[in-house]
Amino acid sequence: TTVDEKYVENIWALLKNAIQEIQKKNNSGLSFEELYRNAYTMVLHKYGERLYTGLKEVVTQHLEHKVREDVLHSLHNNFLQTLNQAWNDHTTSMTMIRDILMYMDRVYVQQNEVDNVYNLGLIIFRDQ
């Protein structure tokens, strides 16, 4: 069975929101099983690239807008502490995001020889 674009966009919106909640540390209300299933559905129906690109955008935006500002504000104050905290928060959230997107890591990432979810997050952090 094929899925239509609208359905895929709805799934992506749900996943995007979940990723953003994880980044804000509001993940208590999230069903990781449901999120995993949705990510699985996207990859299964050949929307892995949409999911991968979307992930890249969401992580980049979060780092550019929220994290970079926090770190820049701390330049004359507790810079290293803030940077270290930002790094720890980022690696924690990327671990949770990786758990949701495990199927994409196993299938889409392998087939397309791109960076896995966790490494992608580290690379984006470094580049931002």
Tell me the mean pLDDT in the region 14-23.
Answer: 98
Structural domains in the chain, CATH included, are: 5-127 (1.20.1310.10)
Does the pTM surpass 0.85? The reply is yes
Q: What is residue 3's predicted lDDT score, i.e. its pLDDT? A: 79
Where residue 80 falls among pLDDT bands split at 50, 70, 90? very high
- Average pLDDT along the chain: 95
CA–CA gap between residue 7 and residue 90 (Å, rounded): 30
Q: What is residue 128's predicted lDDT score, i.e. its pLDDT? A: 85
Q: What is residue 120's predicted lDDT score, i.e. its pLDDT? A: 97
Residue 68's CB: how many other CB atoms inside 10 A?
13
Is the pLDDT confidence value at 1 over 70?
Answer: no
- With contact defined as beta carbons under 8 Å apart, do 51 and 41 qualify? no
